[in-house]
Structure 1
Amino acid sequence: MIPSEEEIRFSLEKRHTKAVQDKLYNAKVAVCGLGGLGSNIAISLARTGIGSLHLIDFDRVDLSNLNRQQYKLNQINQPKPEALKISILEFAPYCQIKTDFIKINEENIPSLLSLDTYICEAFDRPEQKAMLTNTVLEKLPEKYLVGASGMIGYGSNHLMKTRKIMAHYYLCGDGLAEGDGLGLMAPRVMLCAAQQANTIIRLIMEKYEV
């Protein structure tokens, strides 16, 4: 039997306090890109008790994703937003989840993200990261944006940092250039994703200095 919404909420409140959980429950967070970063960010936020998640990606689950992304073999070829939603609802059945199986571009960003207060940039390619970042900063300056740069290989954990770039823009990762042949491995990708998720929570809790 699935616990009631009140039972799950009370369980979280015992861990986080009611005041904290109220803020998390009322937050609206978009995750743009649902690969290694985004799938882990979304699951961390859902487990924390975020009330509303907006999951956005145009890709389908592929076998090559499973080394670092939160999908299963039986989800191969499924649209990532729907596959991730199903997984999240298994442990957070009352989370309000909106999905968009769509490619984000400069034209659709303002309308696509209009109702979300906090935005996670979780793309793989530098040009996509730059496009989303520049468009949000220019056209949606009131939103909070948390991006990522540098999480390849198996470098030291201590290199992973969170930096405040602008009043509403934070960047997580080691900041080093990609492409040195070390590949993307689950532990370091998850470290960066955890930093992004935690930064979102700190912003919700009005702990802006990270």
Structure 2
Amino acid sequence: MKIGIAGAGGIGSNVAVHLVRTGASCLKIADFDFIEESNLNRQFYFHHQIGTSKVETLKKNLLDINPKGNFQVENLKLTRENMTDFFQECDIVVEAFDESKYKTMLIEEIYPLGKLIVSASGIAHWDICNIKIKKVMPNLFVVGDFEKGIENYNTYSHKVSIAAAMMAGIVLEKGGFYEK
């Protein structure tokens, strides 16, 4: 089972870590950004990694957890033109973008392929009481509070981590990783 992750920031890096720590070993991740100090409050990176490529650094960090893992990464900005090809061989795709227009783009491009998509909406603010999972369509699950977005609120590690853990749980359950 190959799992694709669109974005290696707060959600993407933490989903990847949760997946690898629970046994997933085949990930394909795309992001074009570099680590900044402001990312360290919620992303799976360290101070000495500031200025490095998120995907290349995430791969190194994941290999520190599982040296035998198959972690394909590409320093790439995903677009309508390249997204389908990038995730073609993936069984499940995790949407981990910051902006809603890119979230929508991923769903519009990937959903028709019949792949399971796990997305996030409303992961900002410190309040964790209303985080839930919504099955929006047969192959689309969204995690968050559906209200407090990054446009109006700060992000905090505990809420991002909880949402990422819930997203990883969906991937593991629907991907058949859990023992029955």
- Provide TM-score, normalisation by structure 1: 0.81
When residues 44 and 77 of structure 1 are mapped into structure 2, their CA distance, relative to the original with a 3 A threshold, is: same
Matched, 1:203 2:161: no
Does 39-48 or 180-189 show the bigger shift?
A: 180-189
CA distance in 2, matches of 1:178, 1:167: 24
| C-alpha RMSD of the superposition | 1.5
CA distance in 2, matches of 1:182, 1:123: 16
Q: Which residue pairs with 1:151 in the alignment?
A: 123
Q: Percent identity of the aligned residues? A: 31
When residues 206 and 85 of structure 1 are mapped into structure 2, their CA distance, relative to the original with a 3 A threshold, is: closer
Q: Which residue pairs with 1:13 in the alignment?
A: none
The AA in structure 1 aligned to 2:40 is: L
The AA in structure 2 aligned to 1:205 is: G
Of 79, 94, 98, the residue aligned with 1:105 is 79
Matched, 1:32 2:6: yes
Deviation of the 1:77 alpha carbon: 1.2
Deviation of the 1:74 alpha carbon: 1.3
Deviation of the 1:189 alpha carbon: 0.7
Q: Which residue pairs with 2:143 in the alignment?
A: 172
User: Partner of 1:199: helix, strand, or coil?
Assistant: helix
* 1:1-210 to 2 correspondences below 5 Å: 27-138=1-112, 140=113, 142-155=114-127, 157-179=128-150, 181-205=152-176
Q: Which residue pairs with 1:23 in the alignment?
A: none
User: Partner of 2:51: helix, strand, or coil?
Assistant: coil
Q: Which ranges in structure 1 are unaligned for 5 or more consecutive residues?
A: 1-26
Structure (1 or 2) with the larger CA radius of gyration: 1
Larger RCO (alpha carbons 8 Å, 6+ apart): 2
CA distance in 2, matches of 1:84, 1:186: 17
- Structure whose residues are more often helix by fraction: 1
Q: Are the aligned partners of 2:123 and 2:148 in contact in 1 as well (CA < 8 Å)? A: no
Deviation of the 1:181 alpha carbon: 4.5
- Provide TM-score, normalisation by structure 2: 0.94
Q: Which ranges in structure 2 are unaligned for 5 or more consecutive residues?
A: none
CA distance in 1, matches of 2:7, 2:165: 15
CA distance in 2, matches of 1:180, 1:165: 22
Deviation of the 1:51 alpha carbon: 2.3
User: Partner of 2:44: helix, strand, or coil?
Assistant: coil
Deviations 1:12-68 (Å, cap 9, x if unpaired)?
A: xxxxxxxxxxxxxxx210111111101000000011111201111010111110111
User: Partner of 2:93: helix, strand, or coil?
Assistant: strand
Q: Are the aligned partners of 2:123 and 2:150 in contact in 1 as well (CA < 8 Å)? A: no
When residues 188 and 111 of structure 1 are mapped into structure 2, their CA distance, relative to the original with a 3 A threshold, is: same
Deviation of the 1:158 alpha carbon: 3.1
Q: Are the aligned partners of 2:125 and 2:148 in contact in 1 as well (CA < 8 Å)? A: no
Deviation of the 1:169 alpha carbon: 0.8
